Amino acid sequence: MSGRQSSDTESGMTGGLALKDIYRMLKREIETGPIQQIEPDTFQKIAAALGSLKGQGYDGIEAKVRDRLTDLLATSARLLIEARLYKLHSGEAIDYSKLTDEEKYALDGMSESAARIDEIVSATLKGRVKVLESISLRVRSKQVLVRFLKPIESFVGVDMNKYGPFQQEDVASLPLENARSIVESGVAVHVHAQP
């Protein structure tokens, strides 16, 4: 190994981000109640560090060190993300200024989910059948994008339209219920459209 690569890998540092730094953030997050301030680009730096590590071509023991370091970074990052998202989901007041953009994205999704649940509960308890019918119609007519991992024969969707056949890597818009079942079977994956 060259001198620079060797010192980076041995210290657990890649792309300016050290494993010990992620560990410190994780420890502080777990030991304190409110969500802690972190750099706005923390998750991007972690992703860059992991990408850099995975892209390094080593052999033998050096490859094992790289793989172990990658596992440690990934596990620490996952725990940090989960600890912070748990605090967001706990219902306690959150200092929005301490959130990264990725966490704001997750919080927006949680708020949308909570609003939908409230809409269903409210419509049910107030006897608003038309609102519930409207919700049902939206779900039945919702289309989602999927990318096929395996070929699949044509089929009739829940909307009674014919879909397919599809080949590996084809992308299609399918009814939500059909897409869910195909994704769960491992034949396709969701394609998340950018807002």
Q: Which has the minimum average pLDDT: 15-19, 37-41, 164-168?
A: 15-19
For the record, the structure tokens of 36 come out as 């802690």
Quote the percentage of the chain above a pLDDT of 90.
63
Whole-number mean pLDDT of the chain?
87
Q: Within this chain, do residues 92 and 154 fall inside the same structural domain, yes or no?
A: no
* CA 14 and chain centroid, separation: 23
Are 40 and 84 within one domain? yes
Q: What is the pLDDT of residue 195?
A: 53
Mean pLDDT score, 154-162:
92
pLDDT attached to residue 10: 39
- Judgement on whether residues 23 and 73 belong to the same structural domain of the protein: yes
Same domain, 86 and 149: no
For residue 28, report the phi and psi dihedrals to the nearest 5 degrees: -65, -40
Q: Which of 76, 57, 80 is nearest to 67 (CA)?
A: 57
Do 71 and 86 fall within a single domain? yes
pLDDT at 122 over 90: yes
Q: Which of 99, 131, 158 is the last residue of a domain?
A: 99
User: So what's the pLDDT on residue 55?
Assistant: 84
pLDDT average, residue stretch 127-151: 93
CA gap 195, 76 in Å, rounded = 29
- The closest alpha carbon to 166, from 142, 157, 158, belongs to 157
Choose between 111 and 5: higher pLDDT.
111
Judge if 168 and 190 occupy the same domain: yes
Secondary structure element (H or E) that encloses residue 138, with its range: helix 129-141
Same domain, 194 and 121: no
Question: Smallest Cα–Cα separation from 15: which of 47, 46, 49, 42?
Answer: 49
Model confidence at 85: pLDDT above 60? yes
pLDDT at 11 (0 to 100): 41
User: Are 62 and 104 members of one domain?
Assistant: no
Residues 154 and 135 in one domain: no
Domain ends where: 99, 133, 152?
A: 99
Whether residues 15 and 95 share a domain: the answer is yes
Q: Is the pLDDT of residue 37 over 80?
A: yes
Range of the structural domain that residue 134 is part of: 100-141
Q: Of 44, 36, 145, 144, whose CA–CA distance to 99 is shortest?
A: 36
Distance CA 137, CA 67 (A): 49
In this structure, what token pair is assigned to residue 151? 């070929």
Distance CA 8, CA 15 (A): 9
CB-based contact 85:103 (threshold 8 Å): yes
CB 144 within 8 A of CB 182: no
Alpha-carbon span 18 to 69, nearest angstrom: 10
Tell me: pLDDT of 6 over 60: no
Total domains, the chain: 3
CA–CA dist 145, 175 (Å, integer) = 9
Asked if pLDDT for residue 93 goes beyond 60, the answer is: yes
**How much is the pLDDT for 130?**
95
Q: Are 84 and 103 in contact (CB under 8 A)?
A: yes
Over 70: is that where the pLDDT of 121 sits? Answer: yes
Pairing of strands 171-175, 188-190: unpaired
Q: Are residues 80 and 123 in the same domain?
A: no
Smallest CA-to-CA distance from 159 within 176, 172, 147 is with 176
pLDDT at residue number 91: 72
Mean pLDDT of 8-21: 59
Q: Which CATH number does the domain housing residue 175 bear?
A: 3.40.5.50
Same domain as 52, residue 123:
no
Residue 181 pLDDT more than 70?
yes
